[in-house]
Amino acid sequence: MFDKLEDLVRRFEEIQAELASPQVVNDQARFRKLMKEQNDLSELVDTYNEYKKQKQNVQDSLDILDSESDEEMRELAKEELAESKKNIEELEQKLKILLIPKDPNDDKNVVVEIRAGAGGDEAALFAGELYRMYVKYVEAMRWKIDLIDYNESGIGGVKECVFMVNGQGAYSKLKYESGVHRVQRVPVTESGGRIHTSTATVAIMPEAEEVEVQINPEDCRIDVFRSSGNGGQCVNTTDSAVRLTHIPTGIVISCQDEKSQLKNRDKAMKVLRAKLLELEREKAHDSEAAARKSQVGTGDRSEKIRTYNFPQGRCTDHRIHLTVYNLLDVMNGDLQEFIDALTAADQAERLAEMAGEQ
């Protein structure tokens, strides 16, 4: 581990030297690439430097204990030694986590797709509440939501909605939300007061760059139609809405959020690229499944990941067996406890795998 850390420190110093070079400054593409690499390494290098500082503190404290006869100085050295050893243990664990290969998609924006599942009208109402939950979380993170499509049901629920979340590290936080979300409660449509179980499916897809996914224009059919919705200039008056069909896969994306047909087409293409990238990721995931079964799912849409039980006011994540009893706060976007616990569980699993490979 420490040989690798020393190599990374040397690489960090090389990057700093390159960034000071006029040739690199004048090459904006190269400059941006190096800046990103420097940012990715900076926390690890800072942590390793602190680790070495604490190791030196341990040695200094031991030297004092060997040579010093003054009891007060010896007590101070013992305290310093204990504190430094504790810090070293914490820093070693942090360094192991920082050395875990980073998901290349972690810094990306995400495309989120929510669909009502089993349960009819109640499932559509729950899907609408999940959309609101994610909007609240995104607002708390000071990110931005860009609505792509919003297909309402008759009683105010959502049959399907697609939106993009724009924010630094959005995928790293939201990637564990993919899967089946289950709600247990007495529906507003139920006169007998019986508890029903309904579901909604959430898909989280990293935004794909054009260079990552090449789309042949001849493979796409684009239809335009008039937007539908409540009020607003251009609604029901111009053919600004876009329906994009990718013929090889049969993927259909509709976008009518913008008044401009061009903007709606651009949004639809972003969603298509994300879906095509996700198809490739799913193929890779399926091929690895026989060799490696992940405890923390990040992409299987059929996996039941969480239950929202309203009568008991609890929310349970089935992958890590975490239950909280602040369901109303969760539905208002307080997802951080789940996200932190899922991230920690994923890191622990990957650390165990790395240890097993050594």
More reliable by pLDDT, 192 or 175 = 175
Is residue 269 one of the residues assigned to a domain? yes
59-113 confidence digits (pLDDT tens) = 999 999 988 888 889 999 999 999 999 999 999 989 988 888 888 889 899 999 9
Compute the CA torsion angle 326, 328, 332, 337 (nearest 10 deg).
10
b/e burial code for range 128-149 (CB count within 10 A of at least 16 → b): bbbbebbebbbeebebebebbb
Query: Which CATH number does the domain housing residue 213 bear?
Result: 3.30.70.1660
* Whether 54 and 141 share a structural domain: no
Question: Using CA atoms, how far apart are residues 35 and 41, in angstroms rounded to an integer?
Answer: 10
Q: Show the tokens assigned to 80.
A: 């310093």
Q: What is the pLDDT of residue 295?
A: 41
Is residue 353 one of the residues assigned to a domain? no
Is residue 277 one of the residues assigned to a domain? yes
* Whether 125 and 213 share a structural domain: yes
* Whether 115 and 34 share a structural domain: no
Q: Could you identify the residue written with the tokens 């009208």?
A: 121
More reliable by pLDDT, 212 or 185 = 185
118-130 confidence digits (pLDDT tens) = 888 899 999 999 9
* Whether 41 and 162 share a structural domain: no
* Whether 30 and 153 share a structural domain: no
More reliable by pLDDT, 222 or 228 = 222
pLDDT at 236 over 70: no
Is residue 357 one of the residues assigned to a domain? no
**Residue 6: domain span:** 2-98
0.85 exceeded by pTM: no
Is residue 103 one of the residues assigned to a domain? no
Q: What is the domain count for the chain?
A: 2
* Whether 229 and 190 share a structural domain: yes
158-169 confidence digits (pLDDT tens) = 999 999 999 999
Question: Using CA atoms, how far apart are residues 5 and 305, in angstroms rounded to an integer?
Answer: 36
Q: Could you identify the residue written with the tokens 């860009």?
A: 146
Contacts by residues 31-38 (CB-CB < 8 Å, ≥ 24 positions apart): 38/12
178-201 confidence digits (pLDDT tens) = 999 999 998 876 666 788 899 999
* Whether 231 and 324 share a structural domain: yes
**Residue 116 identity (one-letter amino acid):** A
Name, in order, each residue with C-beta under 8 angstroms of 58's C-beta and a sequence gap of 6 or more. Answer: 81, 84, 85, 88
Is residue 358 one of the residues assigned to a domain? no
Strands of 196-206's sheet, edge to edge?
144-152, 158-166, 110-116, 196-206, 179-185, 304-309, 314-317, 322-324
CB-based burial label for 71 (10 Å; 0-12, 13-18, 19+): exposed
**Residue 348 identity (one-letter amino acid):** A
Out of 41, 65, 98, a domain closes at: 98
Out of 47, 76, 98, a domain closes at: 98
* Whether 144 and 214 share a structural domain: yes
* Whether 123 and 65 share a structural domain: no
* Whether 170 and 281 share a structural domain: yes
Out of 98, 124, 158, a domain closes at: 98
* Whether 223 and 76 share a structural domain: no
Is residue 157 one of the residues assigned to a domain? yes
Beta bridge partners of 161: 114, 150
* Whether 266 and 155 share a structural domain: yes
Query: Which CATH number does the domain housing residue 59 bear?
Result: 1.20.58
